[in-house]
Amino acid sequence: MNPLLAPAVLTAAPGETREFLSPAGVEIVFVLVGLVTLGAGILCVTSRQLVHAALYLVVALGGLAVHYLLLTAEFIAWVQVLIYLGSVVVLLLFGLMLTRAPIGPSPDADSRNRPVALAVAVLAAATLVTLVADAFRTTWIELDTPHGRSGDIGASLFRHWVLPFELLSVILLAALVGAIVISRKRGPAPAEEEQR
Protein backbone atom coordinates (compact mmCIF):
# COMPACT_ATOMS: atom_id res chain seq x y z
CA MET A 1 0.00 0.00 0.00
CA ASN A 2 1.35 3.35 -0.83
CA PRO A 3 1.41 6.32 1.49
CA LEU A 4 -1.01 8.35 -0.59
CA LEU A 5 -3.74 5.84 -0.10
CA ALA A 6 -3.48 5.13 3.58
CA PRO A 7 -5.02 8.29 5.09
CA ALA A 8 -7.70 8.32 2.44
CA VAL A 9 -8.88 4.87 3.35
CA LEU A 10 -8.71 5.54 7.06
CA THR A 11 -10.97 8.55 6.78
CA ALA A 12 -13.48 6.95 4.47
CA ALA A 13 -17.13 7.02 5.29
CA PRO A 14 -17.99 4.51 8.00
CA GLY A 15 -21.02 3.21 6.21
CA GLU A 16 -24.15 4.39 7.91
CA THR A 17 -23.69 8.11 8.33
CA ARG A 18 -23.00 8.92 4.72
CA GLU A 19 -24.83 11.75 3.08
CA PHE A 20 -24.50 13.33 -0.26
CA LEU A 21 -23.45 16.67 1.16
CA SER A 22 -21.28 15.45 3.99
CA PRO A 23 -18.30 14.17 2.13
CA ALA A 24 -15.64 12.07 3.73
CA GLY A 25 -11.95 12.85 3.50
CA VAL A 26 -11.38 10.72 0.46
CA GLU A 27 -14.17 12.51 -1.36
CA ILE A 28 -12.76 15.91 -0.52
CA VAL A 29 -9.37 14.83 -1.83
CA PHE A 30 -11.04 13.38 -4.89
CA VAL A 31 -12.89 16.60 -5.62
CA LEU A 32 -9.81 18.75 -5.14
CA VAL A 33 -7.65 16.59 -7.36
CA GLY A 34 -10.55 16.40 -9.78
CA LEU A 35 -10.66 20.17 -10.04
CA VAL A 36 -6.96 20.22 -10.79
CA THR A 37 -7.38 17.46 -13.35
CA LEU A 38 -10.30 19.10 -15.06
CA GLY A 39 -8.60 22.49 -15.10
CA ALA A 40 -5.48 20.97 -16.60
CA GLY A 41 -7.58 19.17 -19.19
CA ILE A 42 -9.37 22.37 -20.15
CA LEU A 43 -6.08 24.22 -20.36
CA CYS A 44 -4.70 21.38 -22.45
CA VAL A 45 -7.41 21.77 -25.07
CA THR A 46 -7.44 25.57 -25.02
CA SER A 47 -3.80 26.55 -24.64
CA ARG A 48 -2.29 28.25 -27.64
CA GLN A 49 1.22 27.16 -26.83
CA LEU A 50 1.67 23.65 -28.07
CA VAL A 51 4.31 22.49 -25.63
CA HIS A 52 2.33 23.94 -22.75
CA ALA A 53 -0.66 21.92 -23.92
CA ALA A 54 1.42 18.75 -23.75
CA LEU A 55 2.59 19.63 -20.25
CA TYR A 56 -0.97 20.33 -19.14
CA LEU A 57 -1.80 16.89 -20.46
CA VAL A 58 0.85 15.54 -18.09
CA VAL A 59 -0.90 17.25 -15.16
CA ALA A 60 -4.29 15.90 -16.21
CA LEU A 61 -3.05 12.35 -16.62
CA GLY A 62 -1.16 12.54 -13.34
CA GLY A 63 -4.33 13.70 -11.64
CA LEU A 64 -6.09 10.69 -13.09
CA ALA A 65 -3.37 8.48 -11.62
CA VAL A 66 -4.09 10.02 -8.21
CA HIS A 67 -7.75 9.24 -8.78
CA TYR A 68 -6.89 5.63 -9.47
CA LEU A 69 -4.97 5.57 -6.20
CA LEU A 70 -7.94 7.02 -4.36
CA LEU A 71 -10.13 4.33 -5.90
CA THR A 72 -7.65 1.74 -4.51
CA ALA A 73 -6.55 0.68 -7.97
CA GLU A 74 -2.88 1.08 -7.32
CA PHE A 75 -1.58 -1.10 -10.11
CA ILE A 76 -3.51 0.84 -12.74
CA ALA A 77 -2.26 4.05 -11.20
CA TRP A 78 1.36 3.14 -11.60
CA VAL A 79 0.81 1.75 -15.05
CA GLN A 80 -0.81 5.07 -15.91
CA VAL A 81 2.19 6.95 -14.55
CA LEU A 82 4.64 4.72 -16.39
CA ILE A 83 2.98 4.48 -19.77
CA TYR A 84 0.92 7.63 -20.13
CA LEU A 85 3.20 10.08 -18.38
CA GLY A 86 6.37 8.27 -19.23
CA SER A 87 5.97 7.35 -22.84
CA VAL A 88 2.86 8.79 -24.44
CA VAL A 89 3.58 12.38 -23.48
CA VAL A 90 7.21 12.00 -24.45
CA LEU A 91 6.06 10.70 -27.83
CA LEU A 92 3.76 13.70 -28.16
CA LEU A 93 6.60 16.06 -27.32
CA PHE A 94 8.78 14.35 -29.89
CA GLY A 95 5.99 14.74 -32.40
CA LEU A 96 5.75 18.44 -31.62
CA MET A 97 9.47 18.77 -31.98
CA LEU A 98 9.63 16.90 -35.28
CA THR A 99 6.82 18.93 -36.82
CA ARG A 100 8.71 22.11 -35.87
CA ALA A 101 6.08 23.40 -33.52
CA PRO A 102 6.63 27.04 -32.65
CA ILE A 103 7.90 27.82 -29.18
CA GLY A 104 5.70 30.83 -28.56
CA PRO A 105 1.95 31.02 -28.89
CA SER A 106 0.69 29.86 -32.23
CA PRO A 107 -2.37 31.84 -33.28
CA ASP A 108 -3.80 29.12 -35.52
CA ALA A 109 -3.97 26.38 -32.93
CA ASP A 110 -7.77 26.40 -33.05
CA SER A 111 -9.78 25.99 -36.19
CA ARG A 112 -12.75 28.02 -37.28
CA ASN A 113 -15.39 25.64 -35.96
CA ARG A 114 -14.56 26.47 -32.39
CA PRO A 115 -18.05 27.72 -31.37
CA VAL A 116 -19.62 24.58 -32.79
CA ALA A 117 -17.12 22.47 -30.88
CA LEU A 118 -17.87 24.40 -27.71
CA ALA A 119 -21.60 23.90 -28.16
CA VAL A 120 -21.19 20.19 -28.81
CA ALA A 121 -18.92 19.77 -25.81
CA VAL A 122 -21.21 21.69 -23.47
CA LEU A 123 -24.23 19.75 -24.66
CA ALA A 124 -22.41 16.45 -24.26
CA ALA A 125 -21.21 17.43 -20.81
CA ALA A 126 -24.68 18.55 -19.70
CA THR A 127 -26.33 15.39 -21.01
CA LEU A 128 -23.76 13.04 -19.57
CA VAL A 129 -23.57 14.74 -16.19
CA THR A 130 -27.35 14.89 -15.85
CA LEU A 131 -27.71 11.27 -16.84
CA VAL A 132 -24.90 9.99 -14.65
CA ALA A 133 -25.84 12.05 -11.62
CA ASP A 134 -29.42 10.92 -11.89
CA ALA A 135 -28.59 7.28 -12.46
CA PHE A 136 -26.03 6.83 -9.70
CA ARG A 137 -27.44 9.21 -7.12
CA THR A 138 -27.68 6.58 -4.43
CA THR A 139 -24.66 4.48 -5.26
CA TRP A 140 -21.63 4.23 -3.06
CA ILE A 141 -18.27 2.69 -3.58
CA GLU A 142 -16.93 0.73 -0.64
CA LEU A 143 -13.28 1.59 -0.34
CA ASP A 144 -12.55 -0.14 2.94
CA THR A 145 -10.91 -3.14 1.33
CA PRO A 146 -8.69 -2.36 -1.62
CA HIS A 147 -9.80 -3.91 -4.85
CA GLY A 148 -6.94 -3.31 -7.23
CA ARG A 149 -3.87 -4.70 -5.52
CA SER A 150 -1.12 -5.76 -7.88
CA GLY A 151 -1.33 -9.39 -6.86
CA ASP A 152 -5.03 -9.63 -7.60
CA ILE A 153 -4.69 -7.81 -10.90
CA GLY A 154 -1.76 -9.97 -11.92
CA ALA A 155 -3.56 -13.20 -11.03
CA SER A 156 -6.65 -12.09 -12.89
CA LEU A 157 -4.62 -10.89 -15.85
CA PHE A 158 -2.62 -14.06 -16.28
CA ARG A 159 -5.36 -16.47 -15.33
CA HIS A 160 -8.54 -15.20 -16.93
CA TRP A 161 -7.32 -12.63 -19.39
CA VAL A 162 -4.16 -14.23 -20.68
CA LEU A 163 -5.39 -14.67 -24.23
CA PRO A 164 -6.37 -10.99 -24.72
CA PHE A 165 -3.09 -10.09 -23.09
CA GLU A 166 -1.09 -12.05 -25.65
CA LEU A 167 -3.24 -10.63 -28.41
CA LEU A 168 -2.44 -7.17 -27.11
CA SER A 169 1.27 -7.87 -27.31
CA VAL A 170 0.84 -8.86 -30.95
CA ILE A 171 -1.10 -5.66 -31.57
CA LEU A 172 1.64 -3.60 -29.96
CA LEU A 173 4.27 -5.29 -32.09
CA ALA A 174 2.23 -4.70 -35.23
CA ALA A 175 1.73 -1.05 -34.29
CA LEU A 176 5.44 -0.61 -33.68
CA VAL A 177 6.40 -2.17 -37.01
CA GLY A 178 3.70 -0.17 -38.75
CA ALA A 179 4.93 3.06 -37.22
CA ILE A 180 8.47 2.33 -38.36
CA VAL A 181 7.33 1.45 -41.87
CA ILE A 182 5.17 4.54 -42.15
CA SER A 183 7.66 7.02 -40.79
CA ARG A 184 10.70 5.64 -42.57
CA LYS A 185 12.21 8.20 -44.85
CA ARG A 186 11.85 7.37 -48.51
CA GLY A 187 15.13 8.00 -50.19
CA PRO A 188 15.82 7.54 -53.85
CA ALA A 189 13.52 4.69 -54.57
CA PRO A 190 15.39 1.98 -56.53
CA ALA A 191 18.49 1.46 -54.40
CA GLU A 192 16.67 1.34 -51.12
CA GLU A 193 13.99 -0.91 -52.45
CA GLU A 194 16.57 -3.37 -53.73
CA GLN A 195 18.31 -3.36 -50.40
CA ARG A 196 15.07 -4.20 -48.77
- Within 76-105, the residues that bind other proteins by CB under 8 A are 76, 79-80, 83-84, 87-88, 91-92, 94-96, 98-99, 101
| Nearer Cβ to other proteins (3/111) | 111
Asked if residues 179 and 98 have their Cβ atoms less than 8 Å apart, the reply is no
How many residues touch other proteins under the rule CB under 8 A: the total is 98
196: exposed, middle or buried (Cβ count in 10 Å: 0-12, 13-18, 19+): exposed
Q: According to CB under 8 A, which residues from 95 to 154 bind other proteins?
A: 95-96, 98-99, 101, 106, 108-114, 116-118, 120-122, 124-125, 128-129, 132-133, 136-137, 139-143, 147-148, 152-153
Contact between 66 and other proteins per CB under 8 A: no
| Nearer Cβ to other proteins (3/19) | 19
Residues forming beta bridges with residue 62, ordered by sequence position = none
| Nearer Cβ to other proteins (7/178) | 178
What x-and-dash track marks residues 33-62 binding other proteins by CB under 8 A?
Answer: -x--xx--xx-xx----x--xx--x--xx-
Contact between 13 and other proteins per CB under 8 A: yes
Q: According to CB under 8 A, which residues from 157 to 186 bind other proteins?
A: 157, 160-161, 164-165, 168, 171-172, 175-176, 178-183, 185-186
Q: Give residue 172's identity as a one-letter amino acid code.
A: L
Contact between 75 and other proteins per CB under 8 A: yes
| Nearer Cβ to other proteins (3/186) | 186
CA–CA separation, 115 and 73 (whole Å): 38
Residues with Cβ within 8 Å of 76's Cβ and at least 6 positions away in sequence, in order, are 68, 148, 153
Nearest to 95 by CA among 50, 45, 59: 50
Asked if residues 48 and 106 have their Cβ atoms less than 8 Å apart, the reply is yes
Residues with Cβ within 8 Å of 48's Cβ and at least 6 positions away in sequence, in order, are 105, 106, 107, 109, 110
